[in-house]
């Protein structure tokens, strides 16, 4: 069973989120008629990219250690406790909701996360000067069953 690992509490300088897709197959007949078979009602493969600039070597090491820790046992990441999603938690007027934050952290209503983020490849580290680097992390959301 996959376990939750917390992403380091480092605030990214940029974030990119691409909503997931519904698992489906499309068949097109010779006359152009389309038939779609949908395999579920939950989106999968959401993409999240976090860019970090001007990190110290110790902060880069935290991210790289998290990458190794998560992938060694095929665990998943939780962003809620840190600063990784800071900046997309803007409130919807007259409510306590945050639309984009809720899209990134889809849950079943009881707090259990439906989408579990895993690294979509190793982090990319670019050294800009001694003890300063830029890092880019790409994540993909998986729909896991327990």
> In terms of DSSP bridges, do strands 124-129 and 132-143 run parallel, antiparallel, or are they unpaired?
antiparallel
Give yes or no for a contact between 10 and 52, defined as CB atoms under 8 angstroms apart. yes
C-alpha–C-alpha distance, residues 23 and 38, integer Å: 6
What tokens appear for 66 in the block?
């998290």
* CB contact set of 114 (below 8 Å; sequence gap of 6+): 42, 106, 107, 108, 143
Looking at the whole model, is its pTM more than 0.75? yes
Task: Choose the weakest-confidence range: 3-17, 48-62, 105-119.
Answer: 105-119
Query: Would the pLDDT of 94 be above 80?
Result: no
Mean pLDDT over the full length of the chain: 82
């Amino acid at each position: 069973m996959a376990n939750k690992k917390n992403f380091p509490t480092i605030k990214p300088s940029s974030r990119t989120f691409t909503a997931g897709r519904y698992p489906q197959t499309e068949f097109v007949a010779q006359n152009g008629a389309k038939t779609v078979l949908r395999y579920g009602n939950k989106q999968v493969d959401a993409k999240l990219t976090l860019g970090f600039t001007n990190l110290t070597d110790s902060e880069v090491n935290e991210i790289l250690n998290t990458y190794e820790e998560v992938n060694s046992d095929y665990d998943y990441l939780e962003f809620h406790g840190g600063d990784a999603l800071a900046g997309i938690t803007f409130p919807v007027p007259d409510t306590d909701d945050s639309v984009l934050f809720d899209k990134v952290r889809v849950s079943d209503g009881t707090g259990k996360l439906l989408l579990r983020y895993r690294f979509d490849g190793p982090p990319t580290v670019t050294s800009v000067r001694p003890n300063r680097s830029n890092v880019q992390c790409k994540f993909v959301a998986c729909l896991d069953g327990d």
